[in-house]
Structure 1
């Protein structure tokens, strides 16, 4: 089989608490041509957008970034999201919004999506940095391991722009987190987690308990001689880890096509566009094959709505066949995996679909749920009822 490659993903950098797009300058410079089209966002109320008023929320930030990503040139241009600290929380929420457009998620010294949970006496120190440049710089110095004076001042000047009243609001946002934080992540694609070895705030225990368990198989990298700002303290090491991750992502990423886009949009019309009239569906969740575009698109559209999260993880192609590996969540977070084989005619329309779910228990439950939702539309004999 010959592996296929999608358009090289655009890198999207999302800064953290009191920072701005300029915090990524060293990383972007080190990446050179690979970051020539990178999007370094300024969040509302920070960076170049410090004058934008509230109300502020993680949801607002995620919507803002998602809107900027959707405006990138090209139809549904693939992206890799890179978020630092609070920006890691936002990056994860953006990934859930953009679906298969996101080919990789990089979390740099990430605050868990559930929040840091600092007690009131500790979070007060972050509140106190508002309107107090000296306190802010001291706070940064205490959380860093290798910031020189020039780097500290560059970050400090970013924080100086933020309205004093907004500083406490932003601190509360990352400290209290998001309601989805205790649940498994909705994003199911490749994940790289980087932490600074000298970061006393986002330490190894916090990442092990609050971040890594939420993802299927994240890669975790420690950056030596770095604290909470590895992208400033050790930009070369961060870029090295990022490039290695990108090489993996770009060698296994799934090319957008009618099939994967139809699952994202959960639309009968989009499935229709991908199918030939005589399409046949065989699947481990079906008792026998289903033929004809109307019945097949009804089943596939219904199936797409049962999935709570879906990620296509690998793709290969040989002659007229596409092979797709995927992972899904359904039934309140139950994980299933599988392989789909698509056979296309010379016009590029799908004429045969073979879908293999695992494990068996999940497949049987899925079949029964399809039967329930399609009652009166598709004959019950196509499904297993004893799940």
Structure 2
């Protein structure tokens, strides 16, 4: 985030580009909300904006969404919606910690805001989260746990998943050699397709050598360590059409870092998953994969060739994983509208209706003490205290009168 803040300062100094964009008079901006600078650019241009979030609802609280901690797991907990007592305790503590983390992240952009916005109209990052006309999330309820949503929150997960196109003859020839055992697709994201983590690669490579399936692995050949010998059942490729390979009838498994796009493609084509999560949201994504029983994951520090090969065979041979992911495929494909239509229709709706204000809850405008009913609670406590005080005073008065009348009778 420090790097993004530094880049943001440089970006907002590009007055020539910003002036050009202003002259274009765009109707609306669609921004990647992971980078807070995109909010500031839209604000600088004076444009209403739609925010896109690239994965699970890690920022739900910042968007003002109802998030009951009893069954909505907080980001970085790796919990599901079914928590025991200690799970709920962990969820609560993480939630309190996350609010501090968000404040620290937002503060990294304070100097940028002061430099590029006049004092009388300086925005702040939390308010800009609430200012978005519409929020689009790259997920849907095939993987995300059921939860309450606001009217301007829409799920568009699975944009990249689509019907398959024919593979090259080279790939078809390689796959045909697998016979009934089929093949495995391996993609660990753009970062690990070029970073030479030698020990990590060795364990994976040795694990693949122990299985009968063919393996098609995306990795830059120029970065492959020369001393690591590639087994005959493994094909290394600089790039591969993941969607088309996952739609092939002989595919048996996807080995992935746990990126959301890869997981949504696996759901669309009903392919079980073995995850090796590396950072960011990938552990949370794989927790959802396990909860949906469409696969499992191995933390990278626990990756050993024997365990890796054994886990691959377990997922392929245990038909329950395939059955579970086929159920998810049915849910995904039978939704009323495909994600690209949801995206286009909602963006068009926001433009045609002049913004998304009619979809925003009034809570966005309420001060925090009203939102949490603290003023009402305080009023009720005061009323209760006054009632208790008056009741005690009344009882004392009655007791005094009874005592004084008793004395008169005795006299």
Tell me which interval the TM-score lies in, with the shorter structure as reference length.
under 0.3
Larger fraction in helix: 2
- TM-score of the pair, normalised by structure 2: 0.27
Greater Rg by CA: 2
Larger fraction in strand: 1
